[in-house]
Amino acid sequence: MKLAISGKGGVGKTTIASALIKVLARNEGTVYAIDADPDACLAASIGVPDDDAFNLKPVVEMREAIRSKTGTGAFYSLNPKLDDFIDDYSYKLGNIRFFRMGDPKKGGSECYCRENTFLNALITSLLLDQKDTVIMDMGAGIEHLSRGTARGVDMMLVVVEPGRNSVNTAKQVERMAKDLGIPKIGVIANKIRSESEKQFIAKNFPDDLILGYIKFSEAIWANAMEPSPAVEMDKELLAEMEKVCHIILREVGGKSN
Amino acid sequence: MKLAISGKGGVGKTTIASALIKVLARNEGTVYAIDADPDACLAASIGVPDDDAFNLKPVVEMREAIRSKTGTGAFYSLNPKLDDFIDDYSYKLGNIRFFRMGDPKKGGSECYCRENTFLNALITSLLLDQKDTVIMDMGAGIEHLSRGTARGVDMMLVVVEPGRNSVNTAKQVERMAKDLGIPKIGVIANKIRSESEKQFIAKNFPDDLILGYIKFSEAIWANAMEPSPAVEMDKELLAEMEKVCHIILREVGGKSN
């Protein structure tokens, strides 16, 4: 099962992604968690120490390594050496294998097209096959969709908050995910403080698109100014994401289905 | 004077940009306002009607038009026909001339590299010269900096909210803006609710980098679920941005300096 998490900047993509990663790692076994945002913060959010995240080789460097090992650069030529590569380019945290897309760049050096292209090849390859659980935390906005980075996922999750801008972005994401042929789309409403905020989301999307309503968390808000995310993830968030996770598994089927 | 506004997704870049555009249009005359975010919402925020924004030709199409008119594609060959082009590709709203970067794309069609490259050529060209006031609202995160889209601005403004993630992004922006040779950088602290939030920002940046602290606005929050932004911009925000504007003008010099 392959999932991508998208949405307007600031809606809580990374928070939702981290909670979903934790829930899936508990229920489904190994989860490949990929930070696909150049302005990255997934590592810290799932508990990878800063130094380890910094020292982790980015997946974009994998292509050259594969080429030098196989002569072709194609993922299938790697078999049965897949596991070595995964070990080499991921950080292991219980059932979670964390990958990061690319290195920080110098100002004016280049775009992230190469990273996005390789990531697309990686997730559609045999390296991470249909039996595996893969979650990608995408960059803010819609450019990853015009690039088609997440083409090949089974479901595009779009996080929205109660506001017209994030709803408009979600509608763009929905349109573009259809262009990409992504079979399923689901909306996760985040930071809900009141019934009227819930109704605002409900009237903007068909019922069957909405996977869940996540309450605004005072605990997460209070933690935002701490030097690093809380080690223990918010219990209420995890419980709510457990329900969202069940719906996702029903829609696209996990290992346990 | 040319300014770019950047920062992590969700910090309020577009709100700050719109207020600054209004203040500058009142005090400095013509302001060229450019939406450089593929996930755009500056038009609505400054009051350009949706249909007019949708029908406006994007600046990326200007290159072909210039080529067919001049044979070279270079901006300087246009002289003295500049004004025709500006009229053709901008929406006039009082002293504001609004431009948008590109059209919405199909999923999987292409990146926004071409748009970013052209935008950089546009702002560094004679078309919008040093006497003009130009404000670009950049996309969320840092890729526009690795692309160097805003190379050529006099000052990079970074919006932060009281949280470690937006502060980390701002520090990346600062580093990359220096790589680009942008002469000045300024931090605008947004959504400040308390003295401790103000202190959090203050301890993360040198004093002379911080241009102002903008209070969290209940009015803007309440308006977020309305179909479109309030026609009248929040008076307190405008008053606070007036002060920020004075500091910016002192740092980089506007027409009135």
- Judging contacts by C-beta atoms under 8 Å, the chain A residues touching residue B38 are 141-143, 146
CA of residue A7 relative to chain centroid, distance: 11
Q: Which residue has the tokens 């970074």?
A: B158
CA neighbor of B22 nearest in space, from B245, B226, B189, B211: B245
pLDDT tens readout for residues A138-163: 999 999 999 999 999 999 999 999 99
Task: Return the minimum-mean-pLDDT range out of A156-170, A215-229, B3-17, B55-69.
Answer: B55-69
Query: For residue B128, is pLDDT > 70?
Result: no
Residue type at position A198:
K
pLDDT tens readout for residues B80-106: 566 778 889 999 999 999 999 988 899
Q: Which long-range contacts (CB under 8 A, 24 or more apart) does B224-227 make?
A: B224/A162, B224/A163, B224/A164, B224/A165, B225/A162, B225/A163, B225/A164, B225/A196, B225/A197, B225/A200, B226/A164, B227/A164
Contact assessment for residue A69 and residue A172, using Cβ atoms and an 8 Å cutoff: no
Asked whether the CA dihedral B158, B159, B164, B165 is positive or negative, the reply is negative
Q: From A139, which residue of chain B is nearest by alpha-carbon distance?
A: B141
Contact assessment for residue A223 and residue A229, using Cβ atoms and an 8 Å cutoff: yes
Q: What is the ipTM of this complex?
A: 0.92
Contact assessment for residue A133 and residue A255, using Cβ atoms and an 8 Å cutoff: yes
pLDDT tens readout for residues A180-209: 999 999 999 999 999 999 999 999 999 999
Task: Return the minimum-mean-pLDDT range out of A101-115, A154-168, A230-244, B118-132.
Answer: B118-132
Task: Return the minimum-mean-pLDDT range out of A166-180, A189-203, B14-28, B228-242.
Answer: B228-242
Size of interface A-B (CB pairs under 8 A): 161
- Where are chain A's structural domains? 2-251
Percentage of chain B exceeding pLDDT 90: 73
Q: Could you give the residue ranges of the DSSP H alpha helices within chain A? A: 13-28, 42-46, 50-55, 62-70, 82-89, 113-124, 143-147, 164-179, 195-204, 218-223, 235-252
Contact assessment for residue B135 and residue B3, using Cβ atoms and an 8 Å cutoff: yes
Residues B194-219 have a mean pLDDT of 96
pLDDT bracket for residue A17 (50, 70, 90): very high
> What per-residue confidence (pLDDT) applies to B207?
97
- A113 vs B113: CB contact, 8 Å cut-off? yes
Rounded-to-integer distance, Cα A137 and Cα B22, Å: 35
> What per-residue confidence (pLDDT) applies to B3?
96
Q: How many residues does chain B have?
A: 257
Helix axes B82-89, B62-70, angle to 10 degrees: 150
- B41 vs A228: CB contact, 8 Å cut-off? no
- Judging contacts by C-beta atoms under 8 Å, the chain B residues touching residue A140 are 9-10, 39, 139-141
> What per-residue confidence (pLDDT) applies to B95?
96
Contact assessment for residue B238 and residue B22, using Cβ atoms and an 8 Å cutoff: yes
Domain B2-251, CATH 3.30.43.10 — does that match? no
> What per-residue confidence (pLDDT) applies to A79?
59
Q: Which residue has the tokens 């990853």?
A: A144
- A163 vs B39: CB contact, 8 Å cut-off? no
CA angle at B216 for the pair B212 and B221, rounded to the nearest 5° = 140
Backbone angles phi, psi at B194, to 5 degrees: -155, 165
Q: Read off the tokens for B247.
A: 């500091």
Task: Return the minimum-mean-pLDDT range out of A69-83, B202-216, B225-239.
Answer: A69-83
- Judging contacts by C-beta atoms under 8 Å, the chain B residues touching residue A172 are 39, 104
pLDDT bracket for residue A257 (50, 70, 90): very low
Q: From B145, which residue of chain A is nearest by alpha-carbon distance?
A: A107
Rounded-to-integer distance, Cα A191 and Cα A198, Å: 10
Query: For residue A136, is pLDDT > 80?
Result: yes
Q: From A114, which residue of chain B is nearest by alpha-carbon distance?
A: B111
